Amino acid sequence: MSYSDLAVRGGWPAIPADAKFAFGVQGPHDDLLRRRLLVSGDLAPEKASGPYNDDVAESLKRFQVRHGLAATGTMTPRTLAALNVSVQKRIKQLEASLERLASMNFEFGQRYVVVNLPATFAEAVENDQVVRRYRVIVGKTEKPSPTLTAEITSVNLNPTWTVPSSISKTEISAHMRKDPGYLSRMHMEVLDARDAPIDPQSVDWSGARTPNFTVRQQSGTWNALGAVKIDMPNPYSVYMHDTNQRNLFSDDYRFDSHGCSRVDNVRDLAAWLLKDQPQWNRAAIDAAIATGQRHDIHLSKKVPVAWIYLTAWMTKDQTVQFRNDIYDQDEQLLEATAEESAFFNQAGNHPLTAHLAQ
C-alpha cells in the first residue's frame, strides 16, 4: 500500500507521549502500538494484538532501522517521536526527495562516493553496487553541511589543521581569553600572512575583528582532523576527515561538526580510494601514519563525490527509509517548487509567453 493510500485511509494512530510499555505485561497502549506498526508494514497482520513481546520488539527494531535509530527494540524518546510523524509529513519528505533527485546533476562514473547528510552515512559505490558504508558526523543544525558535487583529488596522512577564521574569531579567541595557555596545550601555533610564527601574546583575542593571522594545529593524536584528510576542492572549503573523538560515531544523532564530514573507519575509505595505486594499500597507509610524518597522496584518477540531502528513499529491497529533516530544507524546497510552478502556470496564459513560444 502506498503512503498516499494510507493518507486517504486516515494514516496511522498517534502514540500518547506518556504511554508506558513493559515487556510481557499487557498495557493500555500495547494494541495501539501494534496497530501503528501494522499500518506502516513493520508488523505482520496476524500479530495485531497482545502484550509487548518479542514480536513487537522485532517490529520496532525494523521501524528503528528504517528511521536511522538505534535498533534497541524498546520505546525510546526518539522512536516515539518518529512513530508520531504524520503520514502527510512522510509524503512531503518523499516528494522533496523526488524533486532533488530529478534536478540532480552528478557525473556518477564507475566509482564514486555519496554522503547523505540527513542519514549521516557515506557510501562508496563501484559498478552501481554499494561496496562500503561508513557512519559520518556532519554539520550541526546551526552550521549545516552543504550539498555539493566535487571530485576527490588526494588523501592526506597526518594532516595539519588550518583553523577557519570564523572558528579562530569565536571559539579560539574565547578559549584564549580564559586560558592563555590554550594554544600551547592544543599544539596550535599562530602564523602571519607569510606563514611565519608569531607570539600568541601579541594577538588581539577580543574577537571583535576578523583575524589577520592563521591558527594551525600540528599533526598528531590531538589533531581535530585525526590521521586522515580526504581532499575534495569545492566552493565551501569542506572535506572529509578522521577525528580524535571517535566515540561520537556510536550515537544515532551525528550532527556535531562545523560543516565538514568526519568519517568512521576513514582509513578503509582511503584504501578504497587509492586501490588503483597498490603501493598505498591499507597496511602501507597504517605504516605511513605510524611514522607521524605528513604524506600527501594524489589520486591517479579523481573520484566523484556528492553530498546530498535525502530524508526519504527506497532501498533495492523495497524498504522505505526516512530520516529527520534536520536542516528544515524539505519544506523550503516544496514551497519554492510550488511558487515556481504557480509562476509558470500563470506565465503560460500570458500573451508574451504565447508570442515567445511561436
Is the pLDDT at 351 greater than 60? The verdict is no
What pLDDT, on a 0 to 100 scale, did the predictor assign at position 243?
93
- Residue 305's pLDDT band, with cuts at 50, 70 and 90, is very high
How large is the average pLDDT for residues 129-147?
Answer: 96
| CA atoms of 239 and 236, how far apart (whole Å) | 9
Grid coordinates in use for 179? 586560558
Highest mean pLDDT, choosing among 85-89, 194-198, 338-342: 85-89
How is the chain split into domains, by residue range? 3-84, 108-159+224-328, 161-218
State percent of the chain over pLDDT 90. 72
The CA distance from 75 to 36, in Å, is: 13
pLDDT at 316: 85
Phi, psi of 294 (to 5 degrees): -75, 135
Q: What is the mean pLDDT of residues 22-45?
A: 92
DSSP letter for 22, please.
B
Residue with cell 527506497: 314
Taking only the tens place, the pLDDT of each residue in 214-267 is 999 998 888 889 999 999 999 999 999 999 888 889 988 999 999 999 999 999
Place of cell 528504517: 66
One-letter identity of residue 39: V
Tens-place pLDDT, residues 114-125:
999 999 999 999
The x, y and z cell numbers of residue 98, run together, are 523526488
The rounded distance, in Å, linking the Cα atoms of 170 and 206 is 9
Model pLDDT, residue 211: 81
The single residue listed with the C-alpha cell 502514540 is 15
Pick from 280-284, 305-309, 340-344: least confident: 340-344
CB atoms within 10 A of CB 255: 20
Q: Place 158 in a pLDDT band, splitting at 50, 70 and 90.
A: very high
Q: Could you give the 3-state DSSP secondary structure of residue 152?
A: strand
Tell me the CATH architecture of domain 3-84. Answer: Orthogonal Bundle (1.10)
CA distance 6 to 183: 57
pLDDT value at position 352?
34
Angle of helix 330-348 relative to helix 87-102, nearest 10 degrees, comes to 70
Domain range 108-159+224-328, CATH class: mainly beta
At residue 331 the predicted structure's pLDDT band, cuts being 50, 70 and 90, is confident
Please name the helix (run of DSSP H) or strand (run of DSSP E) that holds residue 322, with its range, or none.
strand 320-322
Check residue 344 and give its pLDDT: 43
Band (132; pLDDT cuts 50, 70, 90) = very high
Determine contact, residues 144/227, Cβ cutoff 8 Å: no
For residues 323-339, average pLDDT: 87
* Per-residue pLDDT, 95: 93
C-alpha dist (Å) from residue 79 to 37, 64, 83, 147, 330: 12, 7, 6, 27, 21
Could you tell me which residues come within 8 angstroms of residue 205 by beta carbon, excluding any fewer than 6 positions away?
A: 172, 173, 176, 177
pLDDT of res. 341: 56
